[in-house]
Every structure is written in structure tokens, then in C-alpha cells.
Amino acid sequence: MARLDELATISQDAGALSRHFLTAEHKAAGNLIMRWMEAAGMSARFDAIGNVVGRYDGEAPGLPALLTGSHFDTVRNAGRYDGMLGVVTPIACVAALHEAGIRLPHAIEVIAFADEEGVRFNATLLGSRAVAGTFDAALLGKSDIDGVTMAEALTRFGLDPARIGEAAHRRNDVLGYVEVHIEQGPVLLNEGCPVGVVTSIAGASRFAVRVEGLAGHAGTVPMTHRHDAAAAAAEMALAIERRCSTAESLVGTVGVLGVPNGAANVIPGAAAFTIDIRAGDDTVRNAAVDDVLREIAAIASRRDVRAAVTPQHDARASPCAPSIMDHIAAQIRAGGIEPRFLASGAGHDGMAIADLTSIGMLFVRCGNGGISHNPAETMTIEDADLGARIFLDVLRRYPHGAKAS
């Protein structure tokens, strides 16, 4: 917990935790994490994308590795546990093995991923995609708010953009991937469960919607003669809420809703909003998307307005491997706790690593209503301790004889 506090002091913003990809703060935090890895008995280095990779060899050099870790970049004005818990916990676990003189039948690699949130270049999972071998080189031309391209930022950081492919791991060298993360939601807290087993990382569909009506005088146009774009958008937002309340893992959000150039005495001639629909099951998500798009069209027709829907993002769900879920659940039960199985509505590095190997995730309860991406994000030292003890068992008892499925 002290290490999480220390990491939280490395920030681009005074008085708030903001740490973004390929900044001086990224390098300072990475160097700190590297020192912790080395103190825990690992070899450690920055890789070609700026991830920090620590390796704890097994009973013999060169054995396949169980991968673990999380990200150490943040959103703006972030909490101190999102991502970082999944970096410091496995370092503590490896330190415990090292202090006891224990080497496992497999290696352990702890990866502190350089960019999961995607704040600086508006492209997510950059570190984990590089490890999985799926990094899109076209992203190197993307610029940040100051006009600095990703390629330029890598060079300034001391890395060679042409060598990003060297961060990729080979399938035969990897046994699987396990991550520990705060839930970032209220389910475990509300049910009194300290830990949970993630079943799937939700897929997401995002759209931008622009509704065109007819502006008019707010005092002279009768209600029955209006083509109010804002009222239509409001009805569409409620339809999204209603449809996305019909399945347990399904959620729908209108995160941005506005009237461009609106005025108090003018009937809105235009309105714009965003849609974010997620579910742990792609069939459930896709069905909801289809229904929502049909309802938007129906509302627009009935209200005699036009609705233009532009897709912006589509990511498939990443199911966790049943064998890894069973393994994590067994370690929880060994501690006398009945595991709670739940999907993750938030995205994680495991979504990218799933293209390389099978994945699994341990959730640890967070407090304060489950709030995250917020300075009010919190967790108890007791839950952090329990999560670490369970995760140590996940690592040291991992079935090394065969890859997870």
C-alpha cells in the first residue's frame, strides 16, 4: 500500500494523479517499478514500447513464463489503485517467493504496461498490444494535443519506433496470463465479497449520434408542430437505458449529450450524443445494439427528425479461460471464501493479451461505492492483503504442465 501511495506522487498535474504514455513521469514511475522488481529478485528492463518487464526465472533458465501485471498509466485526475494494484501485488508475491528461496516449474514475468488508458494519443492498450504482437504501426503517426507524434515521443523517450516488434512474446514461451485488479464497481462491495473471479472482459460498441430537427421560436411554435431535436435525443437516451437494463452484464451509457449553439428561447434544431454499449457476451451486446439502432430510427421517424449514427469503436468481448477461472476459484475456496463470478465491464490489458494466450483475472473489492477513475477510489489494506495472498497461490500453484484452455 505504501508503494501504491509512492507511485501516486509521480504525476504530471500538481494535486491530482495524471500520468501518461512516454512522458517524464512515465519514465520516473517505470524506473521506480524496475527498482522494486530487482529488489524482489527479478531481472528488469524497459522493453521496446516502454513497458517495464520483470522476469523471475523458474527452476531452470528459459522455462515458459506465466505472465502477469497491469498498467501504470492513468486517466486524468485518477485514483491510485486502478492498474497499479496489478503491478505492485505480483512484485510483492515474487518477493515472497524469492525470500523463501522458492523457484517454480515455470518462470514468472511481471509486466507493467506503459499505456492502457490511451489518454495521450487516443489509442488504447498500446503496451499490451505490443507484447501480444498486434501493435498497429499506423498508430505511430498519431499526434497528441501538442502535435507530437507517437514516433517522436518514443524517440524522445529513448526508444526506437522501428523496434516495437521486439516487445512481442512468442506463444510457445507463454503459459498464460493472470491479472489482479480492483473491481472498479460496486458488485463485490454490495454483496460483501472481498474478491471475485472474472468470467469475461466486456466487449464494447460506441457510436456518435447527431439528430437534426428544425429550430424555431420557443414561444410561437405549438407543441404539435415542433421538430425538436433535443426532445428526440432525450427519448432515444431513455430507450437506450431501458433496453440495456434487460440483461445482467449489459450496460448502456449516453456519456455526452448536448445541443450545439443552443439558446433558452429557441427550439433545438440539432442535438448530439454518444452511445457506449457493453456486455460480457458479444451475442447479448450485438442484440442490444441492433435493437437500439432500430429504436433510434423509429423515434426519429415518429418525431419527423433525422438521426445520423456514426460507429466509432467496436471491440469483441474477451472470455477468460475456464481452466484459469477454476484455478483462481480454487485458491479463493482454499481460504474459506466462496468465490463470486462476475464479468468486467471495464476494459483491461487482458483484452489484448488474449490474442497471445489464455487469460484470467482476480477482482479485489474496492470501497466508496465502487467508484474508480476518480481520486475518491479506495480499498482497504485488509482486502489488498487478502488479494495478495490469494494471488501468490495463483502464481505458485499454477498448473504448468499444459497451457490453459
- For residues 192 and 216, state if they share a domain: no
With cell 495478495, the residue in question is 388
The CATH number linked to 379 is 3.40.630.10
- For residues 235 and 215, state if they share a domain: yes
Cell output for 100: 523463501
Q: What are phi and psi of 31, to 5 degrees?
A: -65, -40
- For residues 16 and 101, state if they share a domain: yes
- For residues 248 and 390, state if they share a domain: no
- For residues 57 and 8, state if they share a domain: yes
Structural domain includes residue 402: no
Q: What is the pTM of this model?
A: 0.88
Structural domain includes residue 120: yes
pLDDT of the residue at 122: 87
Domain boundary among 263, 282, 306: 306
The CATH number linked to 210 is 3.30.70.360
Structural domain includes residue 404: no
pLDDT of the residue at 11: 97
- For residues 210 and 174, state if they share a domain: no
Query: Which residues, including other chains, have CB under 8 Å from residue 87's CB and lie 6 or more apart?
Result: 33, 69, 70, 71, 72, 110, 112
- For residues 58 and 166, state if they share a domain: yes
Structural domain includes residue 405: no
Cell output for 403: 497451457
Q: Provide Rg for the chain, Cα atoms.
A: 23
Domain boundary among 273, 306, 339: 306
Number of domains observed in the structure of the chain: 2
Beta strands in 149-226 (DSSP E): 174-182, 195-201, 203-212, 216-217
Residue 3 three-state SS: helix
Whether 285 contacts 278, CB under 8 Å: yes
Whether 315 contacts 347, CB under 8 Å: yes
Domain boundary among 264, 287, 306: 306
Query: Which residues, including other chains, have CB under 8 Å from residue 192's CB and lie 6 or more apart?
Result: none
Residue-wise pLDDT for 77-130, tens only, equals 999 999 999 999 999 999 999 999 999 999 999 999 999 999 999 899 999 999
HSE-CB at 349 with a 13 A cutoff on CA atoms is 32
pLDDT of the residue at 315: 86
> Which of 278, 367, 346 shows the shortest CA–CA distance to 75?
346
User: Whole domain around residue 223: which residue ranges?
Assistant: 205-306
pLDDT of the residue at 313: 86
pLDDT tens digits for the chain (405 residues)? 999 999 999 999 998 999 999 999 999 999 999 999 999 999 999 999 999 999 999 999 999 999 999 999 999 999 999 999 999 999 999 999 999 999 999 999 999 999 999 999 989 999 999 999 999 999 999 999 999 999 999 999 999 999 999 999 999 999 999 999 999 999 999 999 999 999 999 999 999 999 999 999 999 999 999 999 999 999 999 999 999 999 988 999 999 999 999 999 999 999 999 999 999 999 999 999 999 999 999 999 999 999 999 998 888 999 999 999 999 999 999 999 999 999 998 989 999 999 999 999 999 999 999 999 989 999 999 999 999 999 999 999 998 654 555
- For residues 90 and 132, state if they share a domain: yes
